[in-house]
Amino acid sequence: MRKFLFFSILSIIVSCSVKKVSGPVQSDIDRVASVFPGYTLASLNEGKNLYELNCNSCHGLKSPASESAKGWKNIVPEMVEKANREGKKINPDQETLILRYLLTMGPLKKGS
């Protein structure tokens, strides 16, 4: 009985675990080169890190594909303003990196 219970719980944990999504790659940069000239893979990864670090501390992270470009362009400034009121220090350059990450990996990725 204990063995059965152990394997049942293990099955549930494994089946409920979240798949690790691969990080941004150079082809993501190539895809948005005309939209964000001079954008680099390092910048994209920095935006991802800033998003994960700053946004996850207050609420769960949303998939970049969960919003339209217009949606992210409205949400990100509001969230940055709120975060800064609560003591975080997200500067305009960091805000741009977060927004570009979300757009690149979400709305601008659809259909690719």
DSSP per position, 33-81: TTTSTT--HHHHHHHHHHHHHHHTTTSPPPPGGGS-HHHHHHHHHHHHH
Residues 6+ apart with CB under 8 A from 21: none
pLDDT band at 57 (very low <50, low <70, confident <90, very high): confident
Share of the chain above pLDDT 90, in %: 68
Which amino acid would we find at residue 61?
A: L
Predicted pLDDT of residue 58: 82
The residues spanned by each domain of the chain are 23-105
What is the distance between the alpha carbons of residues 4 and 98, in angstroms, rounded to a whole number? 46
Q: What is the pLDDT of residue 19?
A: 42
Q: What's the predicted TM-score (pTM) here?
A: 0.78
pLDDT digits (tens, 9 = 90+) for 9-54: 545 554 444 444 568 999 999 999 999 999 999 999 999 999 999 9
